[in-house]
Structure 1
Amino acid sequence: MPFGTRLLLSAAIGSLIIFIALAPSGPRIYRLALNAQPHLPDLKLFAHLPLAIQLHILGALGAILLGAALMWLRKGRILHRAGGWTWVGLVALVAGSSMFIRGANGGGLSILHLLTGWTLITLPLAVLWAKRHQVQRHRRAMMGLFYGGFVINLAFAFIPGRTMWQLFFG
């Protein structure tokens, strides 16, 4: 199965799981979404967030922006390599800070922390594959981290009522 098809299938299954998980809260989430008032980030709210969440948000936003730029840059050049190392650092920051974010599950690890484990395994492998010039493996791993770890999770982060929703819409 082509990578793009697997990615779309994964996104569809993930969306279905989220829909089922959020079904009891559906009316409340729907109401919040209908009353959304987009605005610049609420810096007062951001300043009162724990440091781990602040680092997580800043690292994730940086990784999304830089990752999108890296997708467009010519691969293998110095700018791609320098940007790639910066992106790896941002991803490591996001994964590391996520280990200290445990409010959603009563102080314990949640199912989202499985993504942290996946990231901490995949990220060094992707770097290793780039160093060994295994371009296809490197590309698949990095695109999987970018789309699976950031783009799809961004949708989860902006579910009405969550912190990112409150920062930009609440």
Structure 2
Amino acid sequence: MTLEPLLAAGPIVYTHAFAAIAAAVLGVIQVAAPKGTLPHRSLGYVWAGLMVWTAGSSLFIHGIRMIGPFSPIHILSVVTLIGVPMAVWAARRGEIRRHAKAMKGYMIWAVLVAGIFTFYPGRLMYQVVFGPD
């Protein structure tokens, strides 16, 4: 394992990756921890910020180009940029079921599914973890 390819990719890419990794770890903690507590709310805001950074920074990463400079994963980025703040707002309004459903969905789609695709052979994170092709 080497961070060299990641760090050489530039600040948008490596901050995107580090935010995504932190969101994945923090998300697992959030799912397992007691809900409605001050730590849950505090870490939730941090998680939401990491998700917004990850989704926003992805709009400037164009490793796979299918529709101009974008790929289908960018649709998930736009949905995340809109949906995560809406899910936070739902919790603040007391719509806890809506909030919980949305946040679990973002953990599954934006963190786990998108994260799995980053380890496809030839992709940057594959090179970081497994070495050059």
Per-residue Cα deviation, 1:72-102 (whole angstroms, up to 9, x for no partner)? 1100001101100000110011011101101
Is 2:92 aligned against 1:126?
A: no
Identical amino acids, percent of aligned pairs:
36
Do residues 99 (structure 1) and 59 (structure 2) align?
yes
Do structure 1's residue 115 and structure 2's residue 76 form an aligned pair?
yes
- Structure 1 unaligned regions, length at least 5: 1-39
Question: Residue 43 of structure 1: CA displacement?
Answer: 2.2
Identify which of 30, 33, 42 aligns with 1:82: 42
Aligned to 1:10: none
Larger radius of gyration: 1
Aligned residues of 2:90 and 2:98 also touching (Cα < 8 A): yes
Normalised to the residue count of structure 1, the TM-score between the two structures is 0.73
- Counterpart position of 2:110: 149
Q: Which runs of 5+ in 2 are unaligned?
A: none
Please name the residue that 1:44 is paired with.
Answer: 4
Residue-pair matches, total = 130
Partner of 1:69: 29
TM-align CA RMSD: 1.2
**Runs of 4+ residues deviating >6 angstroms:** none
Once residues 128 and 3 of structure 2 are traced to their aligned partners in structure 1, the CA distance between those partners, rounded to angstroms, is: 8
Does 2:116 align with 1:135? no
Return the structure number with greater helix share.
1
